[in-house]
Amino acid sequence: MHYAPDPRVEQWYRANTGDHFEIVALDEDDGTIEIQYFDGTVEEIDLDGWEALEASIAAPPEDWSGSVDIQQDDYGVEIELRHFDPWESPLDPYDHPKSP
């Protein structure tokens, strides 16, 4: 018999199917757990469903783009490599007032 860890909000788990998911809400009064899979799908399960998942604690995914439906190239961050001159002042790109 598999021991299911206690569900904790913001904790990542791996189901027996191999799917990664995070618990996003826990309603102890209703006995329901809201989970969000890596692809963004949200599902609400009861405590019996939690036991059936045979979940185990997992590390969060390194690639956070799964639930936001964008490609890694579209993160919106472009890195411009620039040569670093140790003698260059950080103020050089700005106009300097002319000396009299």
* pLDDT in the model for residue 56: 92
- Does 88 map to a domain? no
Model confidence over 14-49: pLDDT tens digits? Answer: 998 888 999 999 998 999 999 999 888 899 999 889
Q: Can you point out the beta strands (E) in 9-97?
A: 12-14, 20-27, 32-37, 42-46, 56-57
Residue 32 lies in a domain: yes
- Count structural domains, the chain: 1
Q: Is residue 73 part of a domain?
A: no
Instruction: Give me the chain's average pLDDT, please.
Output: 78
What global pTM score does this model have?
A: 0.61
| Confidence grade of residue 4 (pLDDT, cut at 50, 70, 90) | confident
Whole-angstrom Cα distance, residue 35 to residue 28?
A: 14
State how far the Cα of 53 lies from the Cα of 16, in Å rounded to an integer: 6
Q: What is the CATH number of the domain that holds 36?
A: 2.30.30.30
Q: How many CA atoms lie within 13 A of 27 on its CB side?
A: 10
Sorted by sequence, the CB contacts under 8 Å of residue 36 that are 6+ apart come out as: 21, 22, 24, 42, 43, 67
Domain with 39 in it: 1-59
- Is 99 a member of any domain? no
80 assigned to some structural domain: no
Q: Please indicate, yes or no, if residue 92 is contained in any of the structural domains.
A: no
